[in-house]
Structure 1
């Protein structure tokens, strides 16, 4: 998925060492609505990045959308656009999306199957909801790649995890290890990602890696994390030092959640539009190369827009007049008072 805001904010993240928390504190991160381009643009709810917190482990981008009636929203139609220094993680609850990228990877993203695209030094791709999709519902996530790996080759991974069943629900572990299951998908820093389905009235205590910080995104249901209510669309954050997370479904219907986590990312980065780099000059170079359609990003074959007169590629927005400057990510400790 692309960032389609006309004036995207820069994101420069300063590393902070892991800090153990005293008890299970929870910080609530609320979403902001962001349109994905065009007069009939679908709207996503974005919880990362924002000023309150820009990273959870190496997770640097969380978009949550739907359930959307495609006949009203227009569905997803994102023309070829670039990425550097990150991995995109596509996860659907309902509907289907076609994926084409300049690594010559072509796939249909389906519910319950993770599709992970590694940009490395540069890639471009398109994402379009299929013609037979009537309802579109899911999440789009990014993870930042460390300096040692970010100039590497393009790649694409697909995995359909089997459900891990527990008393009161089940989970689909699409990255890392959780509940005794391990995903085979390659990441470049320690990460975890899973969809959790919790039946009405059920609760679960999940053992987690205390070196990780975590985020729990609620898609649907009436749940609390460590006794703190979480509303649909909110991202509940817990810092490092926790050994288990306790989740309870207080509603009459099954709840669905996305759990992400990872070791605090130990490098300073700049994130602007669809690029992740290390300083202003690098981002400016990526933008210039994309505008020139340089070899760095290659060429996406197979994109067919819903609009026959639509764009064939997404031009980059203008850089801000001032140099992109650092922004410090908070320490990996939950701040309950930051709920807004």
Structure 2
């Protein structure tokens, strides 16, 4: 039995697809809650000989049953259902000689709902990049200050410092003191220049950092991309998509990056709904073609102008989305690492 380390699960999409495939609700584990109320319908009769309660007590109860599929079983069964029903293209089962540039493979992708592939991954968290950019000047100052302090503790630096002190304490006639003072001043200027020029990291101009923050806020707010490279020798081919921060199994982005990094060393698998398969020849569909005529009505001119504004931003958005041939864009559903049992690690009873 294989074990799965899930980094990302879009559970709403999982349940939606699974319910459509199976024709039923997600089920197996059952939880039950009960709500109830009690009302008395008693009439008191007080006699001299005995006391009797006439009537009785009624109870109203409502029961709710909620059935939930065990988490990991549901995810694995969804893959099985997608595959057996003909909705999933698994690159591992495709011809080994074909890559994402193959026309037959791309034609199959256009007629498939989902794709599954494994490979090295890259995680690009733009909000994290923006935060680092905001703190970058202070980080550079800290690193360079540490570098300067380390240099000042070096034997060479201390030797020159001692020479300066000896020159400044030179005794003798006025001319000798003046020469020693001048020499000490020159050595001090050389040390100061050395410290100023030997920085560990150069400062990035502030306008670049501000521009990066503006760009992210305008086009990439709250965006975290994943890129999966299924073919080791085809670096321009990858499956990629946007990861919703709420669907990470490690909710804290700092903890996630500290644990896995933005460039994990191990291979991961992605399963996603195919959303875009760009063609080699570029986009041929023109939604504004209806306005390419000589005499436009007034209402057509207004509509053309406003809709043209959207098309005017297509070039910038294309740079941001980076969805171009031969890449494939997906809506990620699952991202995980799959591990088979290692017999060398299995312990047998003595």
- Pairwise TM-score range, normalised by the shorter structure: under 0.3
* Structure having the larger proportion of residues in helix: 2
Q: How does the TM-score come out when normalised to structure 1?
A: 0.20
Q: How does the TM-score come out when normalised to structure 2?
A: 0.19
* Structure having the larger proportion of residues in strand: 1
- Structure 1 or 2, whichever has the larger Rg, is 2
